[in-house]
Amino acid sequence: MKKSKEEKNSELEQEILKEEIVNEAENETTEGPEVQEDPVEEVSQEEILSEKVKELEAANAELKDQMLRRQAELDNFRKRLIRDKEDAIQFANENLMRDLLTFLDNMERAIAACKQGGDVKSLIEGLEMTQSQLMSTLDKNWGLKAIDSVGQEFDPSLHEACMMAIDENLEKETVLEEFQKGYTLHGRVIRPSKVKIGKPE
């Protein structure tokens, strides 16, 4: 039996109505009212942040502690350097002093021999030998050399002129006499020779 036109329209309207209801329901589901955050979630995020803060504070405290330790180590290192430098300055000439002790011993023996009325010639020989040994040690171990002056051309960087004489036999200024010996240390003049020089006319 065929449905009448009215029945068909009625069924069509019902289907359209059903679709509208379904569409509205879907819209309400997707566009529904804002869901409020769960207070349990909020609390857990606060706890997470609190834990992070505690971790950062602990890391900060550890870094401060490391910095203080490094600072203390640096201070101790500086103090040790200063102490080592002071020791180096104070005992820099220790080896030189040891070398000189031998010659002090020889001088004491020479003085004791004089007091006992020893032979003057032997005394002079002993002193000359001591002087020679001393100069040899100072030259070899310490770089100290005597400036050779008499008969040499006058050199103001090596000689200090204390007296002057005219000598027509000279072609240039020459050291005639030495009043006090000069010395160089590793090639640097530490005391010029005090000399008398002769000048040509």
Does residue 113 lie within any of the structural domains?
A: yes
Q: What is the pLDDT of residue 41?
A: 56
How many domains is the chain partitioned into structurally?
2
Q: What is the pLDDT of residue 74?
A: 94
Does residue 187 lie within any of the structural domains?
A: yes
Q: What is the pLDDT of residue 160?
A: 94
CATH number at residue 179: 2.30.22.10
Kindly state the average pLDDT of the residues 30-45.
Answer: 57
**For residue 164, pLDDT beyond 60:** yes
Kindly state the average pLDDT of the residues 163-179.
Answer: 91
Q: Same structural domain for residues 161 and 112?
A: no
Q: Same structural domain for residues 118 and 152?
A: no
Domain boundary among 95, 120, 142: 142
Kindly state the average pLDDT of the residues 142-149.
Answer: 92
Does residue 128 lie within any of the structural domains?
A: yes
**For residue 29, pLDDT beyond 70:** no
Q: Same structural domain for residues 132 and 188?
A: no
Domain limits for position 126: 74-142
- The 10s digit of each residue's pLDDT in 94-137 is 888 888 888 888 888 888 887 887 678 888 888 888 889 989 99
Q: Same structural domain for residues 157 and 200?
A: yes
Kindly state the average pLDDT of the residues 161-187.
Answer: 91
Q: Same structural domain for residues 137 and 78?
A: yes
Does residue 52 lie within any of the structural domains?
A: no
Domain boundary among 142, 164, 180: 142
Kindly state the average pLDDT of the residues 175-196.
Answer: 94
**For residue 201, pLDDT beyond 60:** yes
Does residue 26 lie within any of the structural domains?
A: no
From 40-49, 155-164, 183-192, the region with the lowest mean pLDDT: 40-49
- The 10s digit of each residue's pLDDT in 2-22 is 556 666 667 777 777 777 776
Domain boundary among 102, 121, 142: 142
Does residue 25 lie within any of the structural domains?
A: no
CB 141: neighbour CB atoms within 10 A? 12
Global pTM reads 0.54
Q: Same structural domain for residues 124 and 173?
A: no
Distances in whole angstroms, Cα of residue 131 to Cα of each of 113, 124, 125: 17, 10, 10
- The 10s digit of each residue's pLDDT in 122-133 is 888 888 888 899
Mean pLDDT in the chain? 83
